[in-house]
Amino acid sequence: MTAAAEGSPPLRMAGGRRNALLQSEAVQGVALISPTFLYALILLVLPILVVIAHSFWTQDYLTIDHTFTLENYRIALTEPIYRDLLWRSLYISLTVSLLTVLLAYPIAYFISFHGGRHKSLWLFLITIPFWTSYLLRVMSWKVILGYNGVLNSGLMGLGIIDEPSTALLYNSSAVIITLTHAWATFAVLPIFVSLEKVDRTLVEAATDLGDGPLRSFLRVTLPLSAPGVISAALIVMIPTVGDYVTPKLVGGKDGVMIANAIQAQFGKASNWPLGAALSVTTMIIVSLMAGAAVLVIRALQRLAR
């Protein structure tokens, strides 16, 4: 950009109006983002528009009836099964994001404040689990939580339980545990970045003004790292609502989430319009929830003062 700006005056003199247009920052900006923009348009916006359109149509055996109707939304919002699945998905994703942030914060804090010269090494180590496929990581939780799994044999070996517990796998807790583990890194990174930006003299100033370690953390470090906490929470919350691999593998019948129902409508049940309506409903509710989460964290931040 700077190089272009520096080179612009002689060019402008030579080329007149057309060059002036090409040299304008707005045009250059659009040109720079256009490949990505087109890519996003074709692969993100268009499919969403297709889904939204379908949600107002009706499945008529093998064809789609294109008359406008809100029937799909009525079913999506009133059928107990979908309502329950949606609630469960929201509950699971909220719990997962809360747990993930709670677990990730101390890690990020440790690396940022006590990582010393080895900060990059620590961050690198944290990404190691990502070297294996997500499916393998979910399967390994199956090995840990299963009937003859590591956890059950361990607890039995310690004499804490007499027979293997079936309460560990195939329920929503199993989904929560697995998702929390899977998303931890995504939460560590934004929190780490925001903690890195906290000026250490501010913590010293708080100490100088009489705050002990806990108080200065609550009154200075935590509020100033809130942006990282917000993005971590959103990064985890938004995709987990729509996750369907994890519930399918470790969720059992108690762990089914809304995405499994949506997948079923697009697959076996072959009712695309209903699937589309469920998708749109979920999208809207997730957006509202994300907005609410931001507001709640901001309010907590204000309270901390």
Partner 1 sequence: MLERVQSERIQTDCTIIDIRDVTRSYGAFKALDNASLSIGKGEFFSLLGPSGCGKTTLLRMIAGFDTPTSGSIAVDGQPMDGIPANRRPTNMVFQSYAIFPHLNVEQNVAYGLKRLKLQSGEEKRRVEEALEQVSLTGLGKRRATELSGGQRQRVALARALVMRPKVLLLDEPLSALDKKLREQMQVELRRLQQAVGITFVLVTHDQYEALAMSDRIAVMFGGRIAQVASPKEIYQRPVNRQVADFLGGMNFVKAEIVEENDASLVVDTLGFGRVRTDKPKAFVRNGGAATLGIRPERLRVLWDNATAKFEVAGKVVERHYFGEITHLIVEIPGLEKPLSVTETNDFGADDIPVGAPIRLAYDPEALVAMAD
Beta bridge partners of 59: 64
Element (H, E) at 96: helix 80-114
In terms of Cα–Cα distance, which of 3, 90, 58, 46 is closest to 283? 90
Q: Site size for partner 1, by CB under 8 A?
A: 20
By CB under 8 A, which span of 43-51, 105-113, 187-195, 205-213 interacts with partner 1?
205-213
Of 104-112, 173-181, 210-218, 243-251: span binding partner 1 (CB under 8 A): 210-218
CB 178 within 8 A of CB 149: no
Q: What is the rounded CA–CA span in Å between residue 295 and residue 300? A: 9
Closest among 90, 109, 96 to 228, alpha carbons compared: 109
SS3 48: helix
User: Quick one: angle between helices 272-303 and 71-78, nearest 10?
Assistant: 50
Comparing CB distances to partner 1, the nearer of 36 and 201 is 201
Question: Which uninterrupted H or E stretch holds 26?
Answer: helix 25-40
- Can you tell me the distance from the alpha carbon of 22 to that of 153, in angstroms, rounded to the nearest whole number? 69
Q: Which is nearer to partner 1, 74 or 302 (CB)?
A: 302
Q: Which stretch binds partner 1 (CB under 8 A): 115-123, 145-153, 196-204, 260-268?
A: 196-204
User: Least CB distance from residue 113 to partner 1, whole Å?
Assistant: 15
Q: Tell me whether residue 126 or residue 191 sits nearer to partner 1 (CB atom).
A: 191
Per CB under 8 A, does 209 bind partner 1?
yes
Least gap, CB of 219 to partner 1 (angstroms) = 8
Confirm or reject binding of residue 202 to partner 1 (CB under 8 A). Answer: yes
* Cβ–Cβ under 8 Å, residues 76 and 278: yes
Among 135, 208, 267, 298, binds partner 1 (CB under 8 A): 208
Q: Verify binding: residue 260, partner 1, rule CB under 8 A.
A: no
Contact between 102 and partner 1 by CB under 8 A: the answer reads no
**Distance separating alpha carbons of residues 146 and 187, to the nearest angstrom:** 27
212 touches partner 1 (CB under 8 A): yes
User: Sign (positive/negative) of CA torsion 277, 281, 286, 288?
Assistant: positive
Contact set for partner 1, span 39-98 (CB under 8 A): none
Of 35 and 212, nearer to partner 1 (C-beta) is: 212
Binder of partner 1 out of 66, 118, 215, 298 (CB under 8 A): 215
CA atoms within 13 A on the CB side of 101: 23
Task: Please list every residue from 223 through 252 that binds partner 1, using CB under 8 A.
Answer: 223-224
Where do contacts with partner 1 occur on this chain (CB under 8 A)?
199, 201-202, 204-212, 215-216, 219-220, 223-224, 301, 305
